Structure 1
Amino acid sequence: MFNITELLKNEISVWEQLKNSAKPVVLYGMGDGADKVLAAFDRYGIKASAVIASDDFVRGQKFHGFTVKKLSDVEAELGDVIIALCFASQLPDVMAHITKISEKHETLVPSVPVFGDRLFDGDFITENKEQIESAYSLLADDLSKKVYENLLKFYFTGRIDLLPPVTTDKDEAFANILNLGENESYVDLGAYNGDTIDEFLHYTNSKYKRIIAFEPNAKNFEKLKLHCKGMANVSLWQLGSYSKNTELIFNNKAGRNSAIADKGVATKVATVDTILCGMAAGYIKADVEGADMETLVGMQKTMRNCKPKLNFSAYHRFEDIFRLALYIHSVNPSYKIFLRHHPYIPAWDTNLYCI
Structure 2
Amino acid sequence: MDFLTLEQSVWSRLKEETRPIVLYGMGDGADKILAQFDRLGIRASGVFASDEFARGNLFHGFSVRKLSDTTAELGEDIVIVISFASQRPEVLAKMYELDAGYDVVAPDVPVVPGPLFDEAFVREHSADMQRAYELLADERSREVFLDTVRFKLSGRLKYLRNSESGKDEVFENILRPGADEHFSDLGAYNGDTIRELLHYTDGRFASVTALEPDRRSFRKLNEWASANIEGDVTLVQAGAWDRDEIRCFSDQAGRQSHVANKGRETQMRALDSVLNGRPCTYLKMDVEGAEREAIAGARQTIERDRPKLNIAAYHRSEDFFELPLLIHSLCADYALYLRHHPYVPAWDTNLYAR
TM range (shorter): over 0.9
Q: Distance in 1 between matches of 2:8 and 2:292?
A: 30
- Give 2:283's aligned residue: 284
The aligned residue for residue 198 of structure 2 is 201
Q: Secondary structure at the match of 2:190?
A: coil
Shift of 1:297: 1.0
Segments of structure 1 that go 5 or more residues without pairing to the other structure are: none
Match of 2:231 in 1: 232
Aligned to 1:56: 52
Distance of 2:198 and 2:339 partners within structure 1: 21
Percent sequence identity over aligned pairs: 47
Secondary structure of 2:344's counterpart equals: coil
**How far, CA to CA, are the matches of 1:183 and 1:117 in structure 2?**
39
User: C-alpha distance in 2, partners of 1:259/1:103?
Assistant: 36
* C-alpha distance in structure 2 between counterparts of 1:101 and 1:202, whole Å: 34
Q: Deviations over 1:90-139 (max 9, x none)?
A: 11111011111111110011111011131001111121111111111110
CA distance in 2, matches of 1:254, 1:42: 28
Partner of 2:68: 72
- 1:116 is matched with which residue? 113
Structure 1 counterpart of 2:101, from 90, 100, 104: 104
* CA apart distance, 1:22: 2.5
Task: Give the counterpart of 1:30 among 26, 30, 33.
Answer: 26
Q: Which has the larger displacement, 323-332 or 37-46?
A: 37-46
Pick the aligned partner of 1:156 from 138, 153, 158.
Answer: 153
- Partner of 1:228: helix, strand, or coil? helix
> For structure 1, which segment, 9-18 or 183-192, has the greater mean C-alpha deviation from structure 2 after superposition?
9-18
Contact 2:6 2:150 in 1 (8 A): no
> What letter is aligned with 1:77?
E
State the one-letter code of the partner of 1:168.
S
1:214 corresponding residue in structure 2 = 211
Q: Match of 2:308?
A: 309
Provide the aligned length of Structure 1 versus Structure 2.
351
Matched, 1:347 2:325: no
What is the CA-CA distance between 1:256 and the residue it aligns to? 4.3
AA aligned opposite 1:200 = L
Report the residue type matching 1:103 in the other structure.
Answer: A
Structure 1 residue aligned with 2:13: 17
TM-score under structure 1 normalisation? 0.97
SS of 2:65's equivalent?
Answer: coil
Partner of 1:273: 272
Residues 205-237 of structure 1 show CA distances to partners (whole Å, capped at 9, x for unaligned) of 111110000010111111111111162110000
| Amino acid across the alignment from 1:120 | F
Report the Cα distance in structure 1 between the residues aligned to 2:203 and 2:146, rounded to whole angstroms. Answer: 36
Contact 1:8/1:153, CA 8 A, preserved across alignment: no
Q: CA deviation at 1:78?
A: 0.4
Q: CA deviation at 1:9?
A: 1.6
Length-normalised TM-score, structure 2: 0.97
CA distance in 2, matches of 1:98, 1:197: 30
Give distance in 1, aligned partners of 2:31 and 2:220.
31
Distance 1:283 1:188 in 2: 8
Unaligned runs of 5+ in 2: none
Matching residue within 118, 129, 134 for 1:132: 129
Conserved 8 A contact 2:54-2:66? yes
1:117, 1:73 → 2: CA distance?
Answer: 35
RMSD (CA atoms):
1.1
How far 1:280 sits from its partner (Å)? 1.3
1:165 to 148, 154, 162: 162
| Aligned counterparts of 1:84 and 1:257: Cα–Cα separation in 2 | 22
Write the deviation string for residues 187-213 of structure 1: whole angstroms up to 9, x where unpaired: 011111111111111111111110000
Provide closer, same or farther for how the CA distance between residues 144 and 10 of structure 1 changes in structure 2, counting only shifts above 3 A.
closer
Which digits, 9 at most, give the CA deviation of each residue in 1:25-72, with x for residues without a partner? 001111111111111112221111111111111111111111111111
Match of 2:78 among 76, 81, 94: 81
For residues 290-324 of structure 1, the C-alpha deviation after alignment (integer angstroms, 9 at most, x for no partner) is 11111111111111111000000000001101111
Per the alignment, do residues 82 and 248 of structure 1 end up closer, same or farther by CA in structure 2, a change over 3 Å counting?
same
TM-aligned CA deviation for residue 254 of structure 1:
2.2
SS in 2 for 1:353: strand
The superposition leaves residues 131-165 of structure 1 with CA deviations (integer Å, 9 ceiling, x where unpaired) of 11111111000000000000001000111111111
Q: Give the SS at the match of 1:48.
A: coil
Distance across 2 between alignment mates of 1:41 and 1:82: 14
SS at match of 1:8: helix
Q: Deviations over 1:308-345 (max 9, x none)?
A: 00000000001101111000000110111000000111
Look up the equivalent residue of 2:218 and give its one-letter code.
F
Counterpart of 1:94? 91
Q: Which one-letter code corresponds to 1:263 in the other structure?
A: K
Cα distance in structure 2, aligned partners of 1:296 and 1:60: 46
Query: Cα offset for 1:8?
Result: 3.2
